Amino acid sequence: MKISIVGTGYVGLCTGVGFASKGNDVICVDIDKEKVDKINSGIPPIYEQGLEEMLKKNLDEKRIRATADIKDAVMNSDVTFISVGTPSWEDGSIDLKYIEQASLDIGNVLKEKGGYHVVVVKSTVVPETTEKVALPALEKASGKKAGEGFGVCMNPEFLKEGMALEDFLNPDRVVIGQLDEKSGSRVHKLYEAFNAPIIMTTLRTAEMIKYAANAFLAAKIGMINEIGNLCKRLGIDTNEVANGIGHDKRIGDKFLRSGIGFGGSCFPKDVKALIAKSRESGYEPVILDHVIKMNNEQPLQIFELLKRKMPDISGKTIAILGLAFKAETDDIREAPALKIVDALVKAGAKVKAYDPKAMDNFRKEFPDITYCSNAAEAIEGSEVCLILTDWKEFDLSDKDFESMSNRLILEGRRILRKEKVKEFEGVCW
């Protein structure tokens, strides 16, 4: 099938490369010309495992290309996915201006295009958005009626950053919200090449499924962190507790790692957006509100632990290993490291940081801390070492910490192992 994808971020580019690898012809569109040029020269603008190789392969086989020209993309495809960003406003509700603009841009081209075209919202949008924002914008700009001149679907994306391509290609399920059967059947056809159950539903139910999934997972992390904070005070290792409950099939063993909290562009943003939508609809959420409050405070558990061990950190040199919100990504959006480094700097500590992929992004927020070219450089001469991201390379041994001037190692992610490092403390273990 001929596909165009508007927005080439984590979701758009992985969707594009994924569909191309399934034999479709893909055109990626972005308003950012620099991203378009990079993609066309085989360099993904973001870091994701395996993405560069698969992008290059599909470019060589001429199954994917990028453009800044929406007309070129829509005219030369049968289905257009919208995967632009949906950032938060101050009150947590989502800013839909990119969705609206992309819908107007696509609609403008549909005005001139003959034949049937399906527009699919893939961005995470609160229930009713496809019907009340995207669809009217498409109708207004195209002068055509949805369901007659063009079809509309909503197809939420469940990929995880760090495993984005792998997740896109091997989803647990595919959800397709359809305006009508004609729209849905075209998108269904596209996903038949994937080995996953396909759930057909309404537009707003598909939107809600995405939020419900993220809200459940965020709450699960919040719950194990709460248990973890209590375990820490009672001398219990939360990970043993997690193991004990994870075998219970009703609970499951995924998303049961306690630590310094969740970050990234999805969980915090999506739970806040669901809270805002809930209030707008007249229901005051109870649990969701607390999931956010709990997670806002969780990163500082490691700072509090440090203060209990070393009451005055002013002038102390502190090595930070890991800045990204999780391993295998360069994304620092809502990363716990942002709050922790801020607290350390405000308390007068000297921060030496290292992350394999996220330092360029972090430098934009904290230009004045010291950045190191590897973990050993950050550790050397430091009095404290905090581990904030579970990169495999931070699975260090005692000898790696010998160059510290004082040895206080605190862990936020449980990457260090007792067999390799004698003395360290975890935030919840």
The nearest distance, CB 55 to ligand NAD, in angstroms, is 15
# of chain residues touching ligand NAD (CB under 6 A): 27
Whichever of 35 and 414 has its CB closer to ligand NAD, that residue is 35
Binder to ligand NAD among 157, 207, 330, 411 (CB under 6 A)?
Answer: 157
Q: What residues from 103 to 142 belong to the interface with ligand NAD (CB under 6 A)? A: 105, 123-124
Q: How far is the CB of 17 from ligand NAD (least distance, A)?
A: 13
- With CB under 6 A as the contact rule, which of the stretches 99-107, 127-135, 179-187, 339-347 interacts with ligand NAD? 99-107
Give least dist CB 68 to ligand NAD, A. 8
Structure tokens at 80: 């257009």
Region binding ligand NAD by CB under 6 A among candidate stretches 82-90, 128-136, 246-254, 352-360: 82-90
Instruction: Mark whether 266 is an active-site residue.
Output: yes
Q: Does 102 bind ligand NAD (CB under 6 A)?
A: yes
Q: Cα separations (Å) of 201 from 104, 142, 174? A: 25, 26, 11
Q: Decide if residue 328 touches ligand NAD (CB under 6 A).
A: no
Shortest Å, Cβ 269 to ligand NAD: 6
Catalytic pick from 231, 266, 372, 385?
266
Is residue 101 near ligand NAD by the rule CB under 6 A? yes
Interface with ligand NAD by CB under 6 A: which range of 94-102, 186-194, 343-351, 416-424?
94-102
3-state secondary structure the chain: CEEEEECCCHHHHHHHHHHHHCCCEEEEECCCHHHHHHHHCCCCCCCCCCHHHHHHHHHHCCCEEEECCHHHHHHCCCEEEECCCCCECCCCCECCHHHHHHHHHHHHHHCCCCCCEEEEECCCCCCCHHHHHHHHHHHHHHCCCECCCEEEEECCCCCCCCCHHHHHHCCCCEEEEECCHHHHHHHHHHHCCCCCCEEEECHHHHHHHHHHHHHHHHHHHHHHHHHHHHHHHHCCCHHHHHHHHHCCCCCCCCCCCCCCCCCCCCHHHHHHHHHHHHHHCCCCCCHHHHHHHHHHHCCHHHHHHHHHHCCCCCCCEEEEECCCCCCCCCCCCCCHHHHHHHHHHHCCCEEEEECCCCHHHHHHHCCCCEECCCHHHHHCCCCEEEECCCCHHHCCCHHHHCCCCCCEEEECCCCCCCCCCCCCEECCC
Of residues 5 through 64, those in contact with ligand NAD by CB under 6 A are 6-12, 29-32, 35
Least distance from C-beta 154 to ligand NAD, angstroms? 12
Indicate whether 146 belongs to the interface with ligand NAD (CB under 6 A).
no
Q: Work out whether 268 is an interface residue with ligand NAD (CB under 6 A).
A: no
Segment contacting ligand NAD (CB under 6 A): 18-26, 139-147, 156-164, 277-285? 156-164
The 179-218 contact track toward ligand NAD, x by CB under 6 A, reads ----------------------------------------
List 16, 18, 44, 85, residue binding ligand NAD (CB under 6 A): 85
Q: Which residues are catalytic?
A: 266
> Which residues of this chain interact with ligand NAD, rule CB under 6 A?
6-12, 29-32, 35, 83-86, 98, 101-102, 105, 123-124, 157, 159, 161, 265-266
